[in-house]
Amino acid sequence: GSNADATPWGQENDQADPALKDASIISQTEAMFKAQYNVVTPENVMKPENISKAANTYDYTAADKLIAWSKANNIAVHAHTLVWHQQSPAWLNKGDAANRASAKANLESYIANVAGHFKGEVISWDVVNEAFSDNTSTFDGSDWRTGLRKDSPWYIAYESGADASKGESGADYIYDAYVAARLADPDATLYYNDYNETYKFEEIAQMAESLNEKWATDSRNTDPARKLVEGIGMQSHFWVGQDPDVDATEVETTIARFVQAGLRISVSELDISFAANNNYHLDEARQAQQAALYGTLFEIYKKYADNIDRVTFWGKADLQSWRSSGMPLLFDNSYAPKAAFWTVIGLGDTT
């Protein structure tokens, strides 16, 4: 089961068509969602800029609606996301707060407030999202911190005032974020979430290993058997017939490395997009091509079923996707199942 952005009342994504506000479409979405999925990730409503526009100001209206709806329908909520270089309000880490002491205080109070608010209501959190650079040449192979996005406002603020002689650096926001999340909601499973992990898996695995080693001797750790960074979200935004396409070997190597580090895995934002909208949903051969790629992935996921907690698609039907023109999902613009759907549930012809 799975899915993204369950806001059937119309809080849709950036490419949303006004027709989506039409009541019949909304109820169609809701019915389809309830029939097909058992866990939901809010696509936008729990992002920092939507929760807290100014210091000490928190608005949980939209997110609480999602929680209430999920509870009423027996659907679990995976929460996304606490710490990101995008979609975050300035008060956290910019301007006067762009220094280590202020950013740390703000990060800790934000996480205590937000993860505290949703304590007991969500099964897990993407604590830190997309901390690593897309430029893989920055990673020196031995120190995960060299691979980070140095232009993240969090990194910049934490670097300002860091004492290098004590081993401090801009990277320290990541550890602080996980500790704050653990203290605020001890029962939630804590994930790190990123994309293009077939390129970034070594630095991500090293980061988790290093933070978990540090936590093992942290005086705030009351459960030594439990890791701090417990799992990795593999976003999995793939392409049909384009590099990076779905490469089974690379995906498996990535999963195996995370498993070796003792981590759980969630496929967190799966979609496989065509490069352009050519009405491919009407073209059987193209649909079969997309379905086969989904099939390749699910064969791997089944092989690692003991390690994978969930598979979440980044959207419900193509018309609501952040990549709507690429028609990347299992349901088409009319909420009808595509070839990919039948393949994923194991009834399709993937030859």
Q: Please confirm, yes or no, whether 209 is among the known catalytic residues.
A: no
Select the residue interacting with ligand G3I from 1, 10, 59, 87 (CB under 6 A).
87
Select the residue interacting with ligand G3I from 172, 202, 269, 309 (CB under 6 A).
269
84 vs 173, beta carbon nearer ligand G3I: 84
- Cα-Cα-Cα-Cα torsion 30, 31, 33, 35, nearest 10 degrees, comes to 160
Residue 52 binding ligand G3I, by CB under 6 A = no
The minimum distance between CB 46 and ligand G3I, in angstroms, equals: 10
Q: Any bridge partners for residue 124, and if so which?
A: 78, 189
Query: Which residues are within 8 A (CB) of 187 and not within 5 positions of it... i.e. 6 or more apart?
Result: 119, 120
173 vs 195, beta carbon nearer ligand G3I: 195
Reading phi first (left if > 0) and then psi (alpha if -120 to 50, else beta), residue 5 is in left
The minimum distance between CB 336 and ligand G3I, in angstroms, equals: 22
Residue 13 binding ligand G3I, by CB under 6 A = yes
Residue 14 binding ligand G3I, by CB under 6 A = yes
Helices (H) and strands (E) in the chain, counts: 11, 8
Fill in the DSSP letter of residue 228.
Answer: S
Antiparallel, parallel or unpaired: β 39-40 and 237-239: unpaired
Query: Which residues are within 8 A (CB) of 18 and not within 5 positions of it... i.e. 6 or more apart?
Result: none
Contact by Cβ (8 Å): 40, 76: yes
Fill in the DSSP letter of residue 220.
Answer: T
Distances in whole angstroms, Cα of residue 322 to Cα of each of 162, 201, 240, 257: 38, 25, 16, 29
159 vs 318, beta carbon nearer ligand G3I: 318
The minimum distance between CB 207 and ligand G3I, in angstroms, equals: 18
47 vs 310, beta carbon nearer ligand G3I: 47
The footprint of ligand G3I on residues 136-195 (CB under 6 A) is none
Q: Residue 175, Cβ neighbours under 10 Å: how many?
A: 18
Select the residue interacting with ligand G3I from 7, 44, 52, 106 (CB under 6 A).
44
Determine the Cα–Cα distance for residues 286 and 307; give it in Å rounded to an integer. Answer: 31
The minimum distance between CB 262 and ligand G3I, in angstroms, equals: 25
Select the residue interacting with ligand G3I from 215, 322, 331, 342 (CB under 6 A).
322
Q: How many residues bind ligand G3I (CB under 6 A)?
A: 12
Which stretch in 11-19, 32-40, 140-148, 256-264 sits in contact with ligand G3I by CB under 6 A? 11-19
62 vs 183, beta carbon nearer ligand G3I: 62
Residue 43 binding ligand G3I, by CB under 6 A = yes
Of these residues, 12, 203, 230, 269, which one is catalytic?
Answer: 269
Judging by beta carbons within 10 Å of its beta carbon (0-12, 13-18, 19+), is residue 49 exposed, middle or buried? middle
Q: Which residues are catalytic?
A: 269
- Which residues contribute to the site for ligand G3I (CB under 6 A)? 12-14, 16, 43-44, 47, 87, 129, 235, 269, 322
